[in-house]
């Protein structure tokens, strides 16, 4: 009788384990949220070999004016001079947006070309020291030679981005310091 009880116990345990395994397999199901929030992401990629040059036209409320295309014109100029620790330079390029209205404005992200920079030039402590046309900067000095800015409205269909920069950060740089 003991041997028979042992076999019966083994058989019951086997059946029970199949039942539990089957229930567990059906207990795990994918879930779905009752709502779905839209997700937006924007990233800027910058490495020594890549340049980021883009612009947008925005409406007075900050939304992108999708019907007004913006282009960064070719023919940017860049100049470097001086010595390590007291080096300076300037950069100039034009943005064009035919059809921009007086209440709309330009935003941009540009990269200063570095191919002609002197061997002693360092961006590690560089800053933007001057500009034109009322540009405000929203980028950190630490991301130079890339920078982002905004023109005020009513500047016309073609605007010139001009910046002066230095390899030794001044007391009041125009780019954001950490």
Please give the C-alpha separations between residue 13 and each of 1, 2, 9, 25, 52, in angstroms, as whole numbers: 18, 16, 6, 18, 66
pLDDT of amino acid 11: 53
User: Is 107's pLDDT higher than 90?
Assistant: yes
Q: C-alpha distances in angstroms, 94 versus 56, 74, 97?
A: 13, 8, 10
pLDDT of 45: 36
In sequence order, the 6+-apart residues with CB closer than 8 A to the CB of 155 are 105, 106, 133
Over residues 39-64, the pLDDT tens digits come to 333 333 333 444 679 999 999 999 99
Which residues share a beta bridge with 132?
none
Q: What is the pLDDT of residues 111-148, one digit of tens each?
A: 999 999 999 999 998 999 999 989 999 889 999 999 99
For 114-133, the DSSP string reads -TTS-TT---TT-EEEEEST
30, exposed or middle or buried, with CB in 10 Å at 0-12, 13-18, 19+? exposed
Mean pLDDT, residues 99-122: 94
Entry pTM: 0.68
Residue 20 is predicted with a pLDDT of 45
Mean pLDDT of 53-82: 94
């Amino acid at each position: 009788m003991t041997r028979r009880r042992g076999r019966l116990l083994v058989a019951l345990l086997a059946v029970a384990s199949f039942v539990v395994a089957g229930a567990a397999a059906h207990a795990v199901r994918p879930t779905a949220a009752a709502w779905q929030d839209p997700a937006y992401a924007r990233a800027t990629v910058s490495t020594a070999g890549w340049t980021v040059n883009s612009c947008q036209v925005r409406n007075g409320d900050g939304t992108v004016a999708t019907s007004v295309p913006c282009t960064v014109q070719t023919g940017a100029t860049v100049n470097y001079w001086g010595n390590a620790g007291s080096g300076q330079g300037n950069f100039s390029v034009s943005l064009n947006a035919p059809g921009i209205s007086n209440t709309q404005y330009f935003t941009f992200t540009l990269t200063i070309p570095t191919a002609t920079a002197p061997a002693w030039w360092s961006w590690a402590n560089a800053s933007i020291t001057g500009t034109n046309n009322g540009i405000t900067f929203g980028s950190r000095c630490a991301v130079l030679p890339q920078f982002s800015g905004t023109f005020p409205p009513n500047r016309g269909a073609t605007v010139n981005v001009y910046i002066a920069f230095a390899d030794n950060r001044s007391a009041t740089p125009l780019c954001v310091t950490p």
